[in-house]
Amino acid sequence: MRPSHCFTFTFDDERAVNDQLHNAERVAFARALEELQPAFGLRLNERVISQLVAHYELLGEWNRRMNLTSLIDPVEAARFHYLESLYATRHFQPQIRSVIDVGSGAGFPGFPIAIFVPTLRVVLVESQMRKVVFLRLAARRLGVKNLSVFHGRFQEYPSRDFDAILCRALDRFQEQLPELLRLGSAAEQILIFAGRELAKQCRVLSRDRWRVTQHTIPLSRRRVLISLRPTGFTWNDTTSSIEGGNTIGFT
């Protein structure tokens, strides 16, 4: 006879616990978006928050089956993946109507930007098929009509019908930056997320033809957003004036 204090943990019990954990993560993620958005100079409406939460949930679901991203903690994901991605929109040139996101990975920065600016045409360029499958499914599931996904390397992207290039995670950056600059030669702007050391490399490699502006990303001491425009080189550093750039508590 089983002792009265023993119990059996069933599959339904496990599913209920997992549902509670996922619900707690969803609530924490949505709260982090709302609480941290002022530091990034953003105002997210109910539709945007709802769709970002849906993307985060789908990302978590797929991440349990295949490694799409190493950072899935709700608060850190809201800050580092989603709000940081949306911060780029504050530095878009006014004429930007279409962008390509080079090496999009799990969809950053292009996917949140497509949600945030539904009038913007966004193409995610990704070479890994498993990530392409996720991105296309997420776009269909969330009904993001202004977003499409190109499977391949950015050097293989056939069209030049875009106003700006976004780049947040590019392997062998120093080696590939000249090719990225060639791709963007007819664009209005290139926006690159980077650490400060990478920013120095970008300054050196792009000095001949591009005007470079550097912005410290809010809630981060080490990460910057680099804006390149093909108007001749000058080096402008606005790190000290960007709202929230020196906030302590995050790195």
DSSP 8-state symbol, 222: S
Residues 251, 244, 167, CA angle at the centre, nearest 5°?
Answer: 65
Is the bond leading into 109 cis (omega within 30 degrees of zero)?
A: yes
pLDDT of the chain, 251 residues: tens digit per residue? 555 555 555 544 444 434 555 789 999 999 999 999 999 999 999 999 999 999 999 999 999 888 888 877 899 999 999 999 999 999 999 999 999 999 999 999 999 999 999 999 999 999 999 999 999 999 999 999 999 999 999 999 988 889 999 999 777 777 788 888 888 888 999 999 988 877 787 877 777 778 889 999 999 878 999 999 986 544 454 543 333 332 222 22
Residue 248 lies in a domain: no
Residue 214's SS3 state is strand
Burial annotation 42-65 (CB, 10 A radius, 16+ → b, else e): bebeeebbebbbbbbbbbbebbee
Q: Is residue 132 part of a domain?
A: yes
Spell out the alpha helix ranges (H) of the chain: 11-36, 46-63, 74-76, 84-87, 110-116, 129-142, 173-183, 196-205
Q: Is residue 169 one of the residues assigned to a domain? A: yes
- Say which CATH number the domain at 51 has: 3.40.50.150
**Residue 163, in any domain of the structure:** yes
Burial 12-38 (b: 16+ CB within 10 A, else e): eeeeeeeeeeeeebbeebbebbeebbe
Structure tokens at 159: 């069209």
Tell me the residue range of the domain where 65 lies: 11-241
153's tokens? 């390397």
Q: List the Cα angle 126/25/118 in 5-degree steps.
A: 45
Residue 4 located in a structural domain: no
Q: Provide the token pair at 218.
A: 């809010």
Q: How many domains does the chain have?
A: 1
Hey, how many other C-beta atoms are within 10 angstroms of the C-beta on 124?
Answer: 30
From the CB of residue 228, how many other CB atoms can be counted at a distance below 10 Å? 25
Give this prediction's pTM.
0.83
Residue 29 lies in a domain: yes
Between CA 234 and CA 189 the distance in angstroms is 15
User: Packing angle between helix 46-63 and helix 11-36, nearest 10 degrees?
Assistant: 140
Whether the CB-CB separation of 243 and 41 falls below 8 Å is answered with: yes
The answer as to whether 206 is a domain residue is: yes
User: CB neighbours of 240 closer than 8 A, spacing ≥ 6?
Assistant: 216, 246
Q: Does some domain include residue 181?
A: yes
